[in-house]
Chains A and B, each alone.
Chain A
């Protein structure tokens, strides 16, 4: 099958890539662009390990076609830190040990970023609701909740 030519923006950089029509955005990122930070857990939209931000919304990249990335603006875990350093969420995850095996961590960080982008001052309840679509089997979640609340506080203080 003929490949499709897709122009997209990933982590602020314009990118052109050839994708198979049936290829998911997750496969496009991981196999085509070698951005392996987004993880394939369940590959059916239930675990959240592949979460990326697409035009301001979080999506399970395993459920989006690579072809749909045309003209989209996509943020992956690789785009979270800046040359100035880690994102406050990344720092808070480190300090709270809000990660263990790390396979769900990129998805949690991206979902958390999306939460704080739209709601800079979430309650604990809102954090738990927003992140309920990301599964973690290691941490028991408590430290992740704390990390997100800490990061929100830090970002508010920094603004």
Chain B
């Protein structure tokens, strides 16, 4: 191993001081002179025709500066890729919670009063909340014009509510099933869940005296938002500037324009800065939660446990719009087939419009849904064959040179090692008490690619400023940039200050997501630091007349080769007569041979009288490259696991008559500190990483296999399987009763 001074150390977060003192400014903390409050009127109906919107009383209320309806934004559509979302509904509302009218007023109270004065006459229409109903040929169309939408990946031959389909696979399914000794088909469902970042969506839009559109938004992909907004409202991107702000959690949910296009129109009409903050009821009913899914898996296997065929179809309920996901579909769906060497496979993922809240991205989009189905299914096959689930997985997992079920080939494959490490740490196989069980599941996640820039500027006081266009939503990218720059310049971490850039500063940044942060930011920070270092050495050589090719930067000094002759670097910065800086632009979108395996083992006790599940222990094993910051890395693991525990056991946005009915954290329970069992982590060292430090990503695959591991543990404990998340006491009890019939 290469030894580092700052890399690999438990460095304090670069944003830590501001955050523990309450000084960190989030979008909702911002106040601009003359700023108005924006507020939205939302549809109570899942599907209705809008007959009439009367805003006259709201317009007349003192303190109200703008009142907008669909007429004011007519024709505008936005999205992350597929532009199908209107800022305000026009003829029809397609989900309960859809925006129908909006106001901007001098206080929150006046804004709310104005909203209450708007009269809307609806003609309620039949609604389809079930994607299986919506897929049928005779279902009414939510989007009859879908073929005209910007961003639709492929025109539909026949317009239906199924607006996008992706497939993966290899071999010949018929051959695989013909070889099989056993064929098993099962269907699994996963619920609508919320990312539950604690900072609701918020934004401030202000059109300044130069007609520039100044924006602060809880959005982790500001350059993409600039593109999306420019295209939606028909202005040049140059007119729009996204300004840096702290973001209070994301988990995939903070990458869409959400209310920004609407607030732009409020700012345009009121000629004032406008702030809009969703309240949490709006978050639960009308943001962009994780897609519910219905997945059918059909597998073929030999008596000896060799998988021969795997067919899976995942139906994602997209809700009323498809604009909240950057890929239109969810690519993680392919992980339903997992890191297994199955010769004959076919996986299909489809997105279906329904009259419910539109789905968006959440931590490994498509993966938790697919992996819950796939890894539950694997366990059931193993039990039917009488093979231990661990042994069964080890037999079918990819090794070096093996292609995965959906055609990926990786190097330095640590799948089996990771599973074995998890099994050791969890003491898999050791005796268990009655009604206690262990279950496992696996996932794999390659770090995503993208583009970013970093600037490194030496300061006259001997410190360094590092600039980044990335907005850290909590995952620690500022600290990554800090550590890389400090490492490469031989400084301690506290000498490097991170100052984020606005979108004017560089051409593009992909934004956080897809476990790309560390991959992309570490390369950019490394290159910028190297460039800055060369500039510093050049400046030192000019001051001293030394040969620039033989200088060494060490301990805040520039040494002449290996001699004791040196010059302090702050002296160089102060006396060279120019600014010493280095910049970099990195574009790394290569499809990698690097992935990161994750194996998780849950241990649960089930009360067979009540169905109550108690999670006793949870073990998470990960194959890793160089860990840049062990405490930050551990936080991503713990946080992901705990989010997965919520998905497995507690969380579901319940939809009744098309409306989300549990709209507070009192009713929508997420794990608290008291709900968390002992968490064990094992790291398996891999040599095949990315970039100058050989890293892998950790953000997403910590949460993708958790639910399946818990479902498998429940079956191990009491012999019954629950095929739908969350695994509640009621479902366990029902499954127990059914098995006893």
* Interface residues in chain A, defined as those with a beta carbon under 8 Å from any beta carbon in chain B: 20, 22, 27, 30, 34-47, 49, 76-78, 80-81, 86, 90, 93-97, 99-106, 109, 127-129, 131-145
Contacts and interface: CB of A to CB of B under 8 A. Distances in A.
A95 B25 CA distance: 21
B35 to A, nearest CB: 11
Nearest to B22: A37
B247 A100 contact: no
B199 A41 contact: yes
Interface in B670-696: 670-676, 679
Contacts of A39: 26, 28, 198-199, 248
A30 B149 CA distance: 42
A44 B10 contact: no
A140 B642 CA distance: 5
Contacts of B29: 30, 36
Given A101-B249, A135-B198, A140-B638, A94 B109 contact: no
B74 interface: no
Report whether over half of chain B's contact residues are helix, strand or loop; otherwise say mixed: loop
A48 to B, nearest CB: 9
Given A40-B277, A100-B476, A140-B638, A106 B22 contact: yes
A141 B196 contact: no
Contact of A100 (B18, B200, B639): B639
B251 interface: yes
A38 B474 CA distance: 18
B468 to A, nearest CB: 17
Contact of A128 (B200, B250, B279, B674): B674
B249 A138 contact: yes
B197 interface: yes
Given A37-B22, A105-B19, A137-B197, 20 more contacts: A27-B108, A38-B22, A41-B199, A47-B665, A49-B198, A77-B21, A78-B22, A93-B20, A94-B16, A97-B635, A99-B19, A100-B639, A103-B26, A103-B249, A128-B676, A132-B674, A132-B675, A135-B198, A140-B638, A143-B631
A26 B632 CA distance: 31
Contacts of A45: 666
A119 to B, nearest CB: 16
A36 B22 contact: yes
B673 A145 contact: yes
B263 interface: no
A128 B673 contact: yes
30 contacts: A36-B28, A39-B198, A39-B199, A40-B200, A41-B200, A42-B665, A44-B666, A49-B198, A80-B21, A94-B16, A97-B13, A97-B635, A99-B13, A101-B474, A102-B24, A103-B248, A104-B198, A105-B19, A105-B20, A106-B22, A109-B20, A128-B676, A134-B673, A135-B198, A136-B673, A137-B197, A137-B198, A141-B638, A142-B679, A143-B638
B402 interface: no
- Chain B contact residues (Cβ within 8 angstroms of A): what range? 35 or more
Contact of B246 (A95, A102, A129, A138): A102
A37 B22 CA distance: 4
Contacts of B666: 44-46
B673 A141 contact: yes
B23 to A, nearest CB: 7
B151 to A, nearest CB: 29
Nearest to A110: B22
B665 A76 contact: no
A41 B665 CA distance: 10
A49 B399 CA distance: 46
A144 B673 contact: yes
A98 B280 CA distance: 24
A37 to B, nearest CB: 2
B702 to A, nearest CB: 9
Per CB-CB distance, the 4 closest pairs between chain A and chain B, nearest first, are A37-B22, A140-B638, A101-B474, A103-B248
Question: Which of A128, A138, A141 lies at the interface centre, i.e. has the most chain B CB atoms within 10 A of its CB?
Answer: A138
Nearest to B28: A40
Contacts of A35: 22
B640 interface: yes
Report whether over half of chain A's contact residues are helix, strand or loop; otherwise say mixed: loop
Interface string B627-660: 0010110110111111100000000000000000
Contacts of A81: 21
Contacts of B18: 102
A137 B249 contact: yes
Nearest to B25: A36
Nearest to A20: B109
B20 A46 contact: no
A94 B277 contact: no
B640 A101 contact: no
A113 B557 CA distance: 43
Contact of A43 (B10, B196, B280, B634): B280
Nearest to B108: A27
Interface string B1-42: 000000000101101111111111110110100000000000
A87 to B, nearest CB: 9
Contacts of B634: 97, 142-143
A131 B250 CA distance: 22
Contacts of A99: 13, 16, 19-20
Contacts of A20: 109
Interface in B195-248: 195-200, 246-248
B478 to A, nearest CB: 11
B280 A41 contact: yes
A129 B676 CA distance: 11
B260 to A, nearest CB: 19
B369 interface: no
B473 interface: yes
Question: Which of B13, B20, B632, B642 lies at the interface centre, i.e. has the most chain A CB atoms within 10 A of its CB?
Answer: B20
Contacts of B198: 39, 41-42, 47, 49, 101, 103-104, 135-137
A29 B179 CA distance: 70
A138 B670 CA distance: 12
Nearest to B198: A41
Contacts of A38: 22
Nearest to B674: A132
